[in-house]
Structure 1
Amino acid sequence: MSTLEGYETAGQAICADSPRLALPVCRWHTFGVYLRKHLRHLAGPELAGAASGVRLVEDLRRVAAQPRGSVLVLTEAASREAGGYRLDVALRDAAAAGAAGLVLTGDRPAEVGRTAAALAERGGVALLAAGGDLAELVVALDRALAGDAADALERAAEAAEGVLRAGGSPERMAAEAGAALGVGVRAEDGVFTAEPLTGHLGRAAGIVLRLAELAAAAGQPDELPWRSRARLLTELLVAPEKQAQELVARARALGLPVDDWHVVLRLEPALGEGPERYALLETVASRAARAAREIVGPSWNAALAGDALIVVRSRPRDEGRAGLREAVRDAALLLERVRPAGAELRCGVSTAHPGVLGLRTCASEARTALRRSPLPLATYDLAGLDRMLEEWYSSDAAQQAVRELLQPILDLGGERAARLLAILRAYLDHHGSPARAAAELHMHRNAVSKNVRRIESLLHADLADPQQRLALQLACRAARI
């Protein structure tokens, strides 16, 4: 046995079966901050049970000889060998030895085969993968199992940040603190309690709970910073593109996460134009500030922009489809929370985009989602040309180009302009067929042909020219956004 194979940690004597420290610190979801960021669960149980120590293994043939309850960390060389049937054999040996977990290191695929997954589940072995420095991983595992001071301090720091992020909501403070500490935390009448803990983690938890009580006693944060952010958010959404870019530094200084990935919710009353609509929006906006903090925390910001309430959800990274599903769920909760009795509200939800220009694209997508769907909660989830047009048309240059191209028609104003644009759009979408355009518009084909000639005259355009035809078709589609 090599020196690496024989490595054991001081945490070997500290586990869930030990009378000296009967803590849940051996569960995967309570591992330290480093591990929760770098360990990926591949297969097997989420909880490893009684983990008694860490063993670093260079040779897969030594897996079966490791002590019961060990977390087995394979070196990169051993992990490379553990592919296909060899991983199946290693999992069988780990289960026979009573190992709590098997950690593959180095570059690993995101998924494992069905046989390996079944063996891990049946054998009660948590199969995980980790990248980064091997020595750092082993030390982090050691600290998590032993519950040492460094790990407890790291947890306390993350818990404190979570408490401050919770926006004054006791329920969110308890959730944030519990997630970082790895224990259940409850809030009742301003008092925070947690599952019994001892040692370094117990002392860290006591500090965090006291901090949460002080933060809860202070109440909701001052509304002035929120109002300043709301005003600036409105400017970012409605100002010309160049001016919006110039506002980025100010937004960062006020705590607006403009550089993150955004999803926009657009809340609109079902009422038409008029004083009642704007009075309802004011009521909804005042409720949304607190509701957003309580439901999802201060990573959401809200502002009145035009005739709608814009609520922005920001995250440091793109969370993909799962993040969008979560945003839609939160949107449904927010819509229910802020809707006044007897009032009808609709909400459009965008996809995710990064940065200040992405924020403006999100706002456009949320508006388009409402226009295209009659549902109270509408999501923008289109791919292809419409998605590309949405991103393109969110820039000032694109909007100016479309206006210049269609300006002679737009100058007609009102119903006349809308009617000619609809005829042009249908005619171009049906490859220049007056009959098909007439069928879509419920018009006579001769009326379509007559109006197409009028449009060509107004725009000084030749619709037989492929380039002009494409430019006008894109402009007509963009004008609907």
Structure 2
Amino acid sequence: MRGRSDERGRVLLDALLEGRCEPGLAARAASCLGLDEQGRYVVAVLREGGGGPAGAAMDADGLRLVRRRRGDREIVVVALGDREPAELVELLARRCPGPGGTGPVADGLAGLGTARRLAEVALLTCPPGTTGIVRLEERLPAALVVSQPELSALLVADVLGPLLALEAADRALLVRTLDAWLECGGSAGRAAGRLYCHRNTVLNRLRRLERLTSRSLSRPREMIEMTLALDAFRLTTARS
């Protein structure tokens, strides 16, 4: 009887994760799984193998969770209680390599469908070959990009078209320079230190990038276009 009850609870949980909103569904799932229907929950989505050792460790840290496998993904539903989402991300990162993503806190089991979908989007913001667990709230611009692949492709073609026509090594050099400049808060000097080159070399590369894209990094709107196009290029083109 206990086994049948557990299986029924998992079926009900799957229905919630799919976003179904039948009357009484959340209450039945809460009863079967021993969870608080109105509690605070976070959903993490991990690529295959990423969540292997995490379950027992999270139990040991006093967090209640339910794990579900879906294809090459593992979905972890965590009853957060009064803990902060950042604590969960740190816990996951210590015990599994990732990549993985978490969505915003869901107020109650009825919100698990939206939380799961947004955690999937967070996972998509992890470039291929990377590790780590990311929070959607920290990746919102990139999340917008991966959520709209057709628009992202248009953005890449419009903004980066001439850049993409360059030889691969030349293109990679300019992209790496822009990345370093952005990560260093727009400081050419700090970017030069990271790239092991002279500050003027960084500035020359950025000016060349501006000429190629017909956009200026000194104009906020145009810089936003360039950074979003760069995210789109890395996150959507790499998966095509």
Same fold, judged at TM 0.5 (above):
yes
* Equivalent in the alignment of 2:47: 266
CA contact (8 A) 1:165 1:298 kept: no
1:302 aligned residue: 70
Q: 1:303 to 1:414 in 2, by over 3 A?
A: farther
- SS for the counterpart of 1:380 is strand
Write the letter of the residue equivalent to 2:45.
Answer: V
Q: Could you tell me which residue of structure 2 aligns to residue 396 of structure 1?
A: 148
Cα distance in 2 for partners of 1:444, 1:467 equals: 28
Distance 1:160 1:429 in 2: 51
CA contact (8 A) 2:68 2:75 kept: yes
Q: Flag the 1:360–1:444 CA change in 2: closer, same or farther, 3 A.
A: same
Correspondence for 1:311 = 74
For the structure 1 residues 320 and 470, does the alpha-carbon distance in structure 2 shift closer, same or farther, using more than 3 Å as the test?
farther
1:224-239 superposed matches below 5 A? none
Matches within 5 A, 1:410-425: 410-412=164-166, 414-425=168-179
Greater relative contact order structure (CA < 8 Å, 6+ sep): 2
Deviations along 1:95-151, whole A, 9 cap, x unmatched?
xxxxxxxxxxxxxxxxxxxxxxxxxxxxxxxxxxxxxxxxxxxxxxxxxxxxxxxxx
Q: Which residue of 1 aligns with 2:101?
A: 350
Q: Is the 8 A contact 1:265 1:348 kept in 2?
A: yes
Instruction: Within 5 Å, give how 1:4-43 maps onto structure 2.
Output: none
User: Residue 439 of structure 1 corresponds to which residue in structure 2?
Assistant: 193
What secondary structure, in the 3-state scheme, does the structure 1 residue paired with 2:102 have?
coil
**What is the correspondence of 1:195-274 to structure 2 with a 5 Å cutoff?**
257-259=17-19, 262-267=43-48
Q: How does 1:443-462 map to 2 (within 5 A)?
A: 443-462=197-216
**Residue in structure 1 matched with residue 110 of structure 2 by the alignment:** none
Secondary structure, counterpart of 1:443 in structure 2: coil
Unaligned runs of 5+ in 1: 1-155, 168-251, 270-287, 305-309, 336-345
Q: Residue 164 in 1 paired to residue 7 in 2? A: yes
Deviation at 1:403, TM superposition (A): 1.8
Structure 1 residues 363-402: aligned runs within 5 Å: 363-364=123-124, 367=126, 371=130, 378-381=132-135, 386-396=138-148, 399-400=152-153, 402=155
**1:264: Cα distance to partner?**
0.7
Q: Secondary structure at the match of 1:408?
A: helix
Q: Report the Cα distance in structure 2 between the residues aligned to 1:380 and 1:432, rounded to whole angstroms.
A: 24
Change (3 A) 1:160 1:448: closer
Q: 1:330, 1:472 → 2: CA distance?
A: 32
CA deviation profile, 1:148-174 (whole Å, cap 9, x unmatched): xxxxxxxx9xx676332477xxxxxxx
- CA–CA distance in structure 1, aligned partners of residues 91 and 227 of structure 2: 36
Partners of 1:161 and 1:361 in 2: how far apart? Answer: 33
Question: Identity, % of aligned pairs?
Answer: 21
**Count of residue pairs brought into register by the alignment:** 194
Aligned counterparts of 1:442 and 1:414: Cα–Cα separation in 2: 20
Q: Distance in 2 between matches of 1:331 and 1:165?
A: 31
The separation in 1 between residues aligned to 2:48 and 2:146, in whole angstroms, is 19
In structure 2, the residue corresponding to 1:347 is in which secondary structure?
A: coil
Q: Deviations over 1:288-312 (max 9, x none)?
A: 7xx99xx9998512323xxxxx212
Give the structure with higher Rg (CA).
1
Q: TM-score under structure 1 normalisation?
A: 0.31
Closer/same/farther in 2, CA of residues 160 and 426 from structure 1, 3 Å limit = closer
Whole-Å separation in 2 of the counterparts to 1:327 and 1:461:
37
